[in-house]
Chains A and B, each alone.
Chain A
Amino acid sequence: MPRVQFEDIIKTYGRVTVLKNLDLEIDDGEFLVLLGPSGCGKTTLLNLLAGLLDVTAGRITIGERDVTDLDPKDRGLAMVFQSYALYPTKTVRGNLKFGLASQKIDGAEVDRRIAWAARMLQIEPLLDRKPAQLSGGQRQRVAIGRALVKKVGLFLFDEPLSNLDAKLRTEMRLEIKKLHDELKSTIVYVTHDQIEAMTMATKIAVMDGGVIQQFGTPDEIYSRPRNLFVAGFIGSPAMNLRAGKITNGGGTVTAALDGVTLDLGRYGFASQPADGQPIVVGLRPEHFGAPGQALADAAGTFSLPVQYTEKTGGDATGYLKFGDGLIAARIDPEQIGRFRQGDTVDVSFPQGKVHVFDAVSGARL
């Protein structure tokens, strides 16, 4: 199974540079998710790998092969498209077969592969239907089937679930994950949906503005966001980000934000911050302690009035007024009924969960 390597990729459309000196290495068997907001260049990167677009500069290797100048069909990969791109004039079987058109494979083998893929995806009863007679989820399976029959080691997915409803999306997510476990192939999967990324990926590359902002496991991305963009993009409700200043005097480092002082004594700074350095502090809503309960290793405690509360089934968030903005804190849904607008609550935040970023560069300190 192949390893994929992008080296110093530049892609421009006319005078607009969409990908800027991008490097990325995907290990064999990895499930890599390219995650980023719409328009950040994910599809472009995927299409470069597929060979549907030509790079402006850079090198792409799959396994040991430099594929930068190869035709899409010769790169040994298969792709599932956002709109499925099934051939509407052919039956499901025809679609699967047509995907093998360029390869010299004898008929019996073709049939074997179709039967195998159909069984795997449970589309056996659909083989003689036309795409127009299938539901969205079924089309999705056929599109995956068309990629499977090629028996390649590298699969590309471009937002494959974005045309499905929420329930089907969850189902297909599991299914694709299962396929990956069974096939042990390398997958590059594009999405703007962080839930998809977090649940499926073994590695995530967070992209913005044509640059990879962070590359790592879902855990790393969540617990150690490398910069403000990643911090703000990952997590729902989003991380609270507040501007503040470092106070570094006499061996104790603290952060001052809008009247609250956070103890950063045990924060793993990469290098000692300067006194008075402007920073942005990130606090995930889900890491706040229960209201009124003091944590043992608290970095600080906020005593704030409730602006409003929000309950989403098994979860609840309180929005607390802080300075000229709001801070979101996860609150036990059993308890949230007690809080009214204007009530003041005390919530403390654990030291180990604070994120600190340089306010100028946005990089993690």
Chain B
Amino acid sequence: MSVADVSLRRAGEVPVERAPRFPRKPKGISGRSIAIIVFLTICAAFFCVPLYIIITTSFKTMEQVREGAIFSLPAPFTLDAWWSAWDTACSGIRCDGLKVGFWNSMAILFPSLILSIALSSVTGYALALWNVRWANTFLFVLFICAFVPFQIIMIPLIILSSGLKVYGTIWGIAIVHAVLAMPFLTLVFRNYYKGIPQEIMSAAMMDSGSFWRVFVEIILPMSGNILIVVLILQITSIWNDFLLGLTFGGLGTQPMSVVLANVVITTTGEAAYNENMAAALLTAIPPLFIYFVLGKFFVQGITAGAIKG
């Protein structure tokens, strides 16, 4: 048989290379394709115009902004607006720029990331892979909680966090982020862990049987992909959050987006549009950076929101 296999492999009749008798010109791009690409390009322009305008405006001087040519390129090109947005822009009565907000957002980001991912991954794991009798009921409740408008729980949460002496602190905001993200993230983790083959769980149960050891040694190493997706989802949503920061942030502990809104909205006299645009860009850079570097995971993260049965 081995002989036959060897011979079979070279058994195919290979024709000698020769010029085709009926050559065809490579087909040019069709009219319909051109129409579609033109349409998509126009749409892409629509999506890019705002970005172009905030970028160019942020590098202009106020004199140039006042000329009213919004599409013109910056001349002279200046970083002044960026510096003042970062360092001296006024929000309300304070004039120390976005830097305070930036560091606040950073300080909120890390604890709430750790809290929310730890809490929801363990919960999702317990619900997906361990026999908890009321798991389905709980999941349904979480499903509903994930879509509840914030306003319906806002006031009790304010009262509760005041009672716990965390209202108006960085920690308060971080904890509220973790709490509010818990239902949705738990569902995401649960759906992911549900996809782990039952055999792996059975084998792990026989070998160890300990809830935490199975989680740390078997499940967590298998969660790389979903952890990145959730991480990106959480970083962008915490960074971009406005409402929680506004509600639970005190003076000096507000995250960047709240400071940005204050800078832009509460201006007295003529607005410094170049500074506003620089401030907006400063706020948008971290999530945009993540988007352009880790786009694939970002898309997975946002479409994870489109409930999978």
Q: Which residues of A approach B to under 8 Å, CB–CB?
A: 7-8, 10, 20-21, 54-59, 68, 208-209, 211, 213, 227-229, 231-232, 240-243, 280, 324-326, 357, 359, 362-363
Among B12, B21, B27, point to the contact of A213 (Cβ < 8 A). Answer: B12
Give Cα A20–Cα B20 distance, bound, in whole angstroms: 10
Give the shortest distance, in Å, between A154 (CB) and chain B (any CB).
Answer: 21
Are the C-beta atoms of B8 and A228 separated by less than 8 Å? yes
Contacts of A227 in B (CB 8 A): 11-13
Contacts of B7 in A (CB 8 A): 228, 241, 243, 280, 357, 359, 362
Contacts of B23 in A (CB 8 A): 57
Assess whether B10 is interfacial by the CB under 8 Å rule.
yes
Assess whether B18 is interfacial by the CB under 8 Å rule.
yes
Are the C-beta atoms of A58 and B22 separated by less than 8 Å? yes
A–B pairs, 30, beta carbons within 8 Å: A7-B21, A8-B21, A8-B22, A10-B20, A20-B14, A21-B15, A21-B18, A54-B27, A58-B21, A68-B22, A211-B13, A213-B13, A228-B7, A228-B11, A229-B11, A229-B12, A229-B13, A232-B4, A240-B4, A241-B3, A241-B4, A241-B8, A242-B3, A243-B7, A280-B4, A325-B3, A357-B7, A359-B7, A362-B12, A362-B13
Are the C-beta atoms of A21 and B20 separated by less than 8 Å? yes
Contacts of A56 in B (CB 8 A): 24
Are the C-beta atoms of A326 and B3 separated by less than 8 Å? no
Are the C-beta atoms of B2 and A59 separated by less than 8 Å? no
Are the C-beta atoms of B2 and A324 separated by less than 8 Å? yes
Give Cα A228–Cα B10 distance, bound, in whole angstroms: 9
Interface size class of B (residues with CB under 8 A): 10 to 19
Nearest neighbor of B20 in chain A, beta-carbon distance: A57
Contacts of B10 in A (CB 8 A): 362
Give Cα A94–Cα B210 distance, bound, in whole angstroms: 58
Assess whether B306 is interfacial by the CB under 8 Å rule.
no
Are the C-beta atoms of B24 and A211 separated by less than 8 Å? no
**Given known contacts A241-B3, A325-B3, A7 and B22 CB-to-CB distance under 8 angstroms:** yes
Q: Which of B153-210 contact A (CB under 8 A)?
A: none
Contacts A241-B3, A241-B4, A243-B7 known; 5 new A-B pairs at CB < 8 A: A8-B21, A213-B13, A231-B11, A280-B4, A362-B11
Are the C-beta atoms of A211 and B8 separated by less than 8 Å? no
Give Cα A324–Cα B11 distance, bound, in whole angstroms: 22
Give the shortest distance, in Å, between A194 (CB) and chain B (any CB).
Answer: 15
Contacts of A68 in B (CB 8 A): 22, 24
Are the C-beta atoms of B3 and A280 separated by less than 8 Å? yes
Give the shortest distance, in Å, between B31 (CB) and chain A (any CB).
Answer: 14
Contacts of B216 in A (CB 8 A): none
Nearest neighbor of A325 in chain B, beta-carbon distance: B1
Are the C-beta atoms of B22 and A59 separated by less than 8 Å? yes
Give the shortest distance, in Å, between A184 (CB) and chain B (any CB).
Answer: 30
Among A209, A232, A326, point to the contact of B14 (Cβ < 8 A). Answer: A209
Query: B279-293 vs A: 1/0 string, CB under 8 Å?
Result: 000000000000000
Are the C-beta atoms of B12 and A57 separated by less than 8 Å? no
Nearest neighbor of B14 in chain A, beta-carbon distance: A211
Are the C-beta atoms of A232 and B8 separated by less than 8 Å? yes
Nearest neighbor of A228 in chain B, beta-carbon distance: B11
Query: B11-53 vs A: 1/0 string, CB under 8 Å?
Result: 1111100101111100100000000000000000000000000
Give the shortest distance, in Å, between B261 (CB) and chain A (any CB).
Answer: 47
Give the shortest distance, in Å, between A16 (CB) and chain B (any CB).
Answer: 15
Give the shortest distance, in Å, between B28 (CB) and chain A (any CB).
Answer: 12
**Given known contacts A8-B21, A58-B20, A209 and B12 CB-to-CB distance under 8 angstroms:** yes
Give the shortest distance, in Å, between A229 (CB) and chain B (any CB).
Answer: 4
Are the C-beta atoms of B13 and A55 separated by less than 8 Å? no
Contacts of A58 in B (CB 8 A): 20-22, 24
Give the shortest distance, in Å, between A210 (CB) and chain B (any CB).
Answer: 9
Give Cα A20–Cα B11 distance, bound, in whole angstroms: 16
Contacts of A241 in B (CB 8 A): 3-4, 7-8
Give the shortest distance, in Å, between B133 (CB) and chain A (any CB).
Answer: 35
Give Cα A79–Cα B21 distance, bound, in whole angstroms: 28
Give Cα A57–Cα B25 distance, bound, in whole angstroms: 8
**Given known contacts A54-B27, A57-B23, A232 and B11 CB-to-CB distance under 8 angstroms:** yes
Give Cα A228–Cα B14 distance, bound, in whole angstroms: 13
| Minimum-distance CB pairs A-B, first 9 | A228-B11, A241-B4, A57-B20, A362-B11, A229-B11, A8-B21, A59-B22, A243-B3, A209-B12
Give Cα A8–Cα B18 distance, bound, in whole angstroms: 10
Give Cα A357–Cα B13 distance, bound, in whole angstroms: 13
Give the shortest distance, in Å, between A353 (CB) and chain B (any CB).
Answer: 17
Are the C-beta atoms of B27 and A20 separated by less than 8 Å? no
Give Cα A54–Cα B21 distance, bound, in whole angstroms: 16
Give the shortest distance, in Å, between B14 (CB) and chain A (any CB).
Answer: 7
Among B3, B4, B20, point to the contact of A8 (Cβ < 8 A). Answer: B20
Contacts of B11 in A (CB 8 A): 208, 227-229, 231-232, 362
Give the shortest distance, in Å, between A22 (CB) and chain B (any CB).
Answer: 9
Could you say which of B13, B15, B21, B24 has the most chain A C-beta atoms within 10 Å of its C-beta? B13
Give Cα A242–Cα B2 distance, bound, in whole angstroms: 9
Q: Which of B234-266 contact A (CB under 8 A)?
A: none
Give Cα A228–Cα B7 distance, bound, in whole angstroms: 7
**Given known contacts A208-B12, A213-B12, A362-B13, A57 and B1 CB-to-CB distance under 8 angstroms:** no
